[in-house]
Amino acid sequence: RPLPEKIGEERVVEPEEYLKGLDEEVIFLGDGARKYVRLIEEILPDKSFFASPHLQYIKASAVALIGMKKFSGGDTLDIMTFTPQYLRLSEAEKKFRVIR
């Protein structure tokens, strides 16, 4: 079974702008899919599909399986230099900037 595919760079973008850039069938899941279901169906009426309710959220077991497949294929990370990539400031960081 193939792994999920990255279809673009990580970025913060308005949902409408993002949806208009999609030209293939897409399965939507998660909080954003639920929040923007009407907009998604309006912009991609024949190309949008939604995961079943029990599959709406990523499970730790699924992440573990993806990691195992990547590791088996030699795709590893250096735990000493690996850092998460956040696209937005946390609420605490936003408040700290206001205080400064």
| Assigned token pair, 23 | 């030209």
Q: What is the pTM of this model?
A: 0.66
pLDDT digits (tens, 9 = 90+) for 15-47: 999 999 999 999 999 999 999 999 999 999 999
Q: Do residues 84 and 17 touch, judged by C-beta distance below 8 A?
A: no
| Assigned token pair, 56 | 């709406």
pLDDT digits (tens, 9 = 90+) for 66-90: 999 999 999 998 889 988 888 888 8
- The total number of residues shown for the chain amounts to 100
pLDDT value, residue 22:
92
